[in-house]
């Protein structure tokens, strides 16, 4: 499926340019708005053109590039119900779909310890998997929270590891979700003086760090 890029002073003008160039009615186009455009200050300074990506409806849909579109539009639809002033970017890295939320109020969507972000990620993943009829690896982030959380959990794991070595006694984390537990296991994987095990029931479990007997 061929994807076409078009620009205009407004989204409507960009769509009209697409329809005129491809010689089809606008109704026969699949339109992905990349940049809605901005008139700038007083319509003179800092304006940005509207940018769209277009495919023909008569062509096959849901190819690999469309997985990004389905995922992004699903998240945008959910966020429109919450009515927060944010935008969503999508990218694919190593087979993983990343949805990045940008905007002055994006921090509100993180929640305590990322719980709101995790809930959004779970919901969008379920919807997209059903729409595409296959499983995808999808991550939703805002204000670089995932990177900051990874660094925080890694530092916590190293600090608790030192305590386990110093006291020669097991040390347990607070209950963590599967992603955060994996970060702890990976952080201490190469430490030959320790071993880690997950303990507990349900989604949230503790990671226990054991000093190995010499």
Cα–Cα distance for residue pair 142/117, rounded to 1 Å: 8
DSSP labels, 70-123? HHHHHHHHHHHHHT---EEEEEEETTEEEEEEESTTGGGGT-GGGHHHHHHHHH
Q: What was the pLDDT predicted at 164?
A: 96
Q: What was the pLDDT predicted at 93?
A: 84
pTM of the model: 0.57
Counting Cα atoms < 13 Å in the Cβ hemisphere of 194 gives 30
Q: Please report how the helices 178-187 and 145-167 are oriented relative to each other, as an axis angle in degrees rounded to 10.
A: 50
pLDDT in tens, 92-128: 888 889 999 998 878 889 988 888 999 999 999 999 9
Based on the number of CB atoms within 10 Å of its own CB, is 2 exposed (0-12), middle (13-18) or buried (19 or more)?
Answer: exposed
Cα–Cα distance for residue pair 141/148, rounded to 1 Å: 11
């Amino acid at each position: 499926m061929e994807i076409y890029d078009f620009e205009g002073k407004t989204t409507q003008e960009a769509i009209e340019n697409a329809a005129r160039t491809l010689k089809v009615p606008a109704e026969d186009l699949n339109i992905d708005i990349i940049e809605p455009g901005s008139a700038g200050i007083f319509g003179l300074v800092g304006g940005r053109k509207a940018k769209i990506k277009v495919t023909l409806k008569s062509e096959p849909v849901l190819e690999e590039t469309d997985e990004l579109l389905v995922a992004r539009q699903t998240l945008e639809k959910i966020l429109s119900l919450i009515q927060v002033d944010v935008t969503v970017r999508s990218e694919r890295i190593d087979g993983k779909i990343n949805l990045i939320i940008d905007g002055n109020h994006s921090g509100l969507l993180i929640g305590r310890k990322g719980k709101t972000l995790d809930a959004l990620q779970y919901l969008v993943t379920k919807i997209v998997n059903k729409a595409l009829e296959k499983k995808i690896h999808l991550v939703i982030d805002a204000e670089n929270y995932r990177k900051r959380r990874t660094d925080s959990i890694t530092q916590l794991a190293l600090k608790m590891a030192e305590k386990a070595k110093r006291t020669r006694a097991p040390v347990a984390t607070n209950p963590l979700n599967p992603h955060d537990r994996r970060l702890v296991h990976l952080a201490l994987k190469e430490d030959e003086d320790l071993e880690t095990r997950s303990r507990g029931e349900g989604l949230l479990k503790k990671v226990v760090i054991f000093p190995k007997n010499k």
